[in-house]
Structure 1
Amino acid sequence: MSAYVVIDLDVDDPAGFQQYVDAVNPLLEEAGARNLLVDDDCLVLEGDWRPATLVIHEFGSLQAARAFWDAPAYQPLKALRRRHATVQVVVAQPR
């Protein structure tokens, strides 16, 4: 069953963050993930959540998403991302 990683992304340094994007996209592809959405102009219908940029990735399963998150190859990229952006990340799957 698919799992969806939902990211509330706020980029502090676009040039630095681009290094992360360039490095993470091949890893996402290797993990079988698809980038479903990147939107920096979400329409808020209710509530006070206002993501600067909303990103959604689809993985084949919750286990695949977790394996990607914990993969040794991804760890240095997390550090790179944290230098150039602030994120809130959740993963969920349909029930």
Structure 2
Amino acid sequence: MTAYVVIDLDIDDPEGFQRYIDGVTPLIDRAGGRNVLIDDNALVLEGDWRPATLVIHHFPSKAALQEFWDSPEYQPLKVLRREYSTVKVVVGESA
């Protein structure tokens, strides 16, 4: 079953955050993931959720995503991401 990662991303330092992107992109690719959407002007139809940037990634499964998320290679990148941005991350899986 396909897993989708939905991220509410607020970048504090674009130059610093680029270092995170440069490091995480090959890891996402290696895990079979891909970017579906990056939108810094998402349309809010209802409610008070106003993501600065809405990001959606697609992974082959929750297991593949969890393996990526917990991988030793990703851990220092999480620290880097937290240094240059604030995120909220949720995962859903399609049937």
* Fold-level similarity (TM above 0.5): yes
Equivalent residue number for residue 54 of structure 1: 54
Q: Name stretches of at least 5 consecutive residues in structure 1 with no aligned partner.
A: none
**1:1-95 pair list within 5 angstroms:** 1-95=1-95
How many corresponding residue pairs?
A: 95
Tell me how far 1:85 sits from its aligned partner: 0.1
* Alpha-carbon distance in 1 for matches of 2:6, 2:67: 16
2:49 is matched by which residue type in structure 1?
A: W
Deviation at 1:20, TM superposition (A): 0.3
Q: Percent identity?
A: 65
RMSD: 0.6
TM-score calculated relative to the size of structure 1: 0.98
Aligned mates of 1:50, 1:92 — CA distance in 2: 19
CA distance in 2, matches of 1:14, 1:60: 29
Instruction: Show structure 2 runs of 5+ residues with no match.
Output: none
Runs of at least 4 residues off by over 2 Å: none
The normalised TM-score by structure 2 is: 0.98
Cα distance in 2 for partners of 1:5, 1:66 equals 11
Query: How far apart are the structure 1 equivalents of 2:28 and 2:36?
Result: 12
